[in-house]
A and B are shown apart, each in its own frame.
Chain A
């Protein structure tokens, strides 16, 4: 892949704090315009990695580029072309919505001609068009979060780093926020996002799982689900759930009830599917449907971390 199509490309990136290795020689390649999810438990090294890419922390070793600029030497240049938003929604609580926007657009050096347009855009995006004079402290969390994002991208950067942007925000606001991320991505912005909400991982184009400073898995959400789950989950729909479960368990197929359905975990899908229909048919139970379902990413990551 030519470097021109990559927003981030790093090799062997490491950060040591004293004896502690926070990030251990990771490689990352992120294509322009994609939503790249960086997942992992707390303390795995997500924030440290982001801080190195943004030029907040000097890497201990490694090399690479962000927007084609050297992370070791050109961090100040990089800062002009990225947006960064952390879980703290770093706004000035005692300034009004408008004053926050004016301040950040001044700091980013947004040109006089674009200033008003960008301000209205940010207000609109945050849903704060009619609350521009409100002191930021008085805003609900979801609005603060969107305002923080707006302030971080007033200069329309081609690459945005979001460090746990949805932590501490209610589910509706989270969903709305992901819609924003999607729109940004469609408009061509590359989004690098960390989260520990596994349901959010499905919104990403590509994922990397970081654990104890190392990337232990990488790929699209579907890749990960298929590649890293060794057994299969089958969903079974019948007219008599409890009897069906008892019958199947007696014949050696592990099942569990999920609502009005049964889930069976099997190693060999090709053999198991006809066998299930056969066993249930012998018992006089009607089988509506047997199909393979995709395990959730949560299952994948739990099994990966346990294996690591």
Chain B
């Protein structure tokens, strides 16, 4: 039995390294995803294009604008002279924020009256708008405090907030995104490689040939999946190395736990790949099916959108999504130094899901051998 599995594994590796497309899958996917998630998509808001409408023209108003710009969050590109200009700029998408200071701002401040600053936001990108509002709020509140009046009416709260983010104190989105890449890369490569490798055998007829040999389904399945499990570990190490060396992602937790949980994650991912191979007849279909599974899995993983905000039915559906668990585990290990004591519910769920998927796929597999 071990001998037969070994032969399938060897054959699989020879084929893997002779196939340019497969090599591309192994090396290009992680690099691409790292570039996308490490550099391109960032929820950090910087250099927000801003217009100012200064009706007061006082040293106080100018000082407020200087502070906004000095923060690095706002880039004041336009000094406008009418509200219509603001409207036009915002409609064309040239600015996200406009700050208007009305006539009497400085005199109100001097007299100790309530002074008002109007911040207009383009709400079409609600995420950026919220973040920009928050930044503006903080800068203006600080300015008011420095003036010793505390009476600029931007913050409606009488309470002073002192925020401190744990685990990722600078709130760098890289720290959140890049460990996630490990999960995505493993899923995409393993799904693709496993499903394609099995379906290819069906396409070229070698599957039929193997089915008349004494090889057992379990030997075939193990022989087919072990190489891709090894590839999965390789991808994990590759992405981790780049994350640590290139992106300065902190790795606070245990490597051993990272390895162990990756192994458990691989169970369900390889199982899904196998499942796809039992429904797809051609490699194109396998490719389609992979993405049909992968894209919703990423969207519904809680990575981009909180699961708690999804409709209840969908929330239940996410229990079948291995990413849901593994993202929590991997971020816990990287950013929080969480151990088994904290992560065991996720790890256990992932393990049970893996067993379920592998069992179902193998059963379907056996049927098709008949």
Q: Are B14 and A58 in contact (CB under 8 A)?
A: no
For A79, A91, A107, the residue with the greatest tally of chain B CB atoms inside 10 Å of its CB is A107
Write the nearest CB–CB distance from A134 to chain B, whole angstroms.
Answer: 13
User: Which B residues from 173 to 231 make CB contacts under 8 A with A?
Assistant: 204-206, 208-216
User: Which A residues from 33 to 65 make CB contacts under 8 A with B?
Assistant: 54-58
Contact of B215 among A56, A85, A88, A107 (CB under 8 A): A107
Q: Are A88 and B204 in contact (CB under 8 A)?
A: yes
| C-alpha spacing A229/B78, complex, angstroms | 101
Q: Given A94-B19, A106-B3, A107-B4, check contact A54 B11 (CB 8 Å).
A: no
Q: Are B213 and A54 in contact (CB under 8 A)?
A: no
Residue of A nearest to B219 (CB): A107
Q: Are B208 and A95 in contact (CB under 8 A)?
A: no
Q: Given A107-B4, A109-B3, check contact A92 B214 (CB 8 Å).
A: no
B residues less than 8 Å from A56 (CB atoms): 208, 211-212
The binding surface of chain B is classed by DSSP as: helix
| C-alpha spacing A11/B105, complex, angstroms | 103
| B111: Cβ under 8 A from any A Cβ | no
| B92: Cβ under 8 A from any A Cβ | no
B residues less than 8 Å from A58 (CB atoms): 370
| C-alpha spacing A86/B205, complex, angstroms | 9
| C-alpha spacing A76/B14, complex, angstroms | 28
| C-alpha spacing A136/B4, complex, angstroms | 22
| A104: Cβ under 8 A from any B Cβ | yes
Contact of B15 among A76, A79, A88, A95 (CB under 8 A): A95
B residues less than 8 Å from A109 (CB atoms): 3-4, 214
Contact of A93 among B6, B8, B204, B212 (CB under 8 A): B204
Q: Are B7 and A107 in contact (CB under 8 A)?
A: yes
| A99: Cβ under 8 A from any B Cβ | yes
| C-alpha spacing A152/B206, complex, angstroms | 11
| B18: Cβ under 8 A from any A Cβ | yes
Q: Given A56-B208, A90-B205, A109-B4, check contact A80 B15 (CB 8 Å).
A: no
Residue of B nearest to A77 (CB): B214
| A108: Cβ under 8 A from any B Cβ | yes
Q: Are B212 and A94 in contact (CB under 8 A)?
A: no
B residues less than 8 Å from A82 (CB atoms): 212
| C-alpha spacing A85/B205, complex, angstroms | 10
| C-alpha spacing A95/B12, complex, angstroms | 10
Question: How many positions in chain B have a CB within 8 Å of any CB in the partner chain?
Answer: 24
- When each residue 282-302 of chain A gets 1 if its CB lies under 8 Å from chain B and 0 otherwise, what string results? 000000000000000000000
A residues less than 8 Å from B208 (CB atoms): 56, 86, 88, 90
Write the nearest CB–CB distance from B174 to chain A, whole angstroms.
Answer: 39
| C-alpha spacing A55/B213, complex, angstroms | 10
Q: Are A106 and B7 in contact (CB under 8 A)?
A: yes
Q: Are B15 and A57 in contact (CB under 8 A)?
A: no
B residues less than 8 Å from A88 (CB atoms): 204-205, 208
Residue of A nearest to B10 (CB): A103
Question: How many positions in chain A have a CB within 8 Å of any CB in the partner chain?
Answer: 28
| A84: Cβ under 8 A from any B Cβ | yes
For B10, B212, B214, the residue with the greatest tally of chain A CB atoms inside 10 Å of its CB is B212
Residue of B nearest to A152 (CB): B209
A residues less than 8 Å from B19 (CB atoms): 94
Q: Are A103 and B209 in contact (CB under 8 A)?
A: no
Contact of B213 among A91, A93, A99, A108 (CB under 8 A): A108
B residues less than 8 Å from A93 (CB atoms): 204
| C-alpha spacing A56/B15, complex, angstroms | 26
Write the nearest CB–CB distance from A84 to chain B, whole angstroms.
Answer: 4
- When each residue 122-151 of chain B gets 1 if its CB lies under 8 Å from chain A and 0 otherwise, what string results? 000000000000000000000000000000
- When each residue 93-105 of chain A gets 1 if its CB lies under 8 Å from chain B and 0 otherwise, what string results? 1110001001110
Write the nearest CB–CB distance from B205 to chain A, whole angstroms.
Answer: 4
| C-alpha spacing A201/B210, complex, angstroms | 28
Residue of B nearest to A102 (CB): B7
Contact of A94 among B15, B205, B210, B213 (CB under 8 A): B15
- When each residue 230-272 of chain B gets 1 if its CB lies under 8 Å from chain A and 0 otherwise, what string results? 0000000000000000000000000000000000000000000
| C-alpha spacing A104/B212, complex, angstroms | 11
- When each residue 141-179 of chain A gets 1 if its CB lies under 8 Å from chain B and 0 otherwise, what string results? 000000000001000000000000000000000000000
Write the nearest CB–CB distance from A201 to chain B, whole angstroms.
Answer: 25
| C-alpha spacing A76/B212, complex, angstroms | 8
A residues less than 8 Å from B6 (CB atoms): 106
Q: Are B209 and A86 in contact (CB under 8 A)?
A: yes
| C-alpha spacing A296/B154, complex, angstroms | 103
Write the nearest CB–CB distance from A236 to chain B, whole angstroms.
Answer: 50
| C-alpha spacing A308/B214, complex, angstroms | 39
| C-alpha spacing A106/B220, complex, angstroms | 13
Q: Are A57 and B370 in contact (CB under 8 A)?
A: yes
| C-alpha spacing A82/B212, complex, angstroms | 8
Contact of B209 among A76, A90, A94, A95 (CB under 8 A): A90
Q: Are A95 and B212 in contact (CB under 8 A)?
A: no
Q: Are B212 and A103 in contact (CB under 8 A)?
A: no
Q: Are B14 and A99 in contact (CB under 8 A)?
A: yes
- When each residue 64-91 of chain A gets 1 if its CB lies under 8 Å from chain B and 0 otherwise, what string results? 0000000000001001101011101011
A residues less than 8 Å from B214 (CB atoms): 76, 79-80, 107-109
Residue of B nearest to A57 (CB): B370
Starting from the known contacts A92-B11, A95-B15, A107-B210, 10 additional A-B residue pairs (CB-CB under 8 Å) come to A56-B212, A58-B370, A86-B208, A88-B204, A94-B14, A99-B11, A103-B8, A103-B10, A107-B8, A107-B213
Give me the interface of B with A, judged by CB distance under 8 Å.
3-4, 6-8, 10-11, 14-15, 18-19, 204-206, 208-216, 370
Give me the interface of A with B, judged by CB distance under 8 Å.
54-58, 76, 79-80, 82, 84-86, 88, 90-95, 99, 102-104, 106-109, 152
Give the top 5 A-B pairs by smallest Cβ distance, nearest first. Answer: A106-B7, A88-B205, A90-B209, A84-B212, A90-B205
A-B contact list, 15 entries, CB within 8 Å: A55-B212, A76-B214, A79-B212, A86-B208, A88-B204, A88-B205, A90-B206, A92-B15, A93-B204, A102-B7, A103-B8, A106-B6, A107-B210, A109-B4, A109-B214
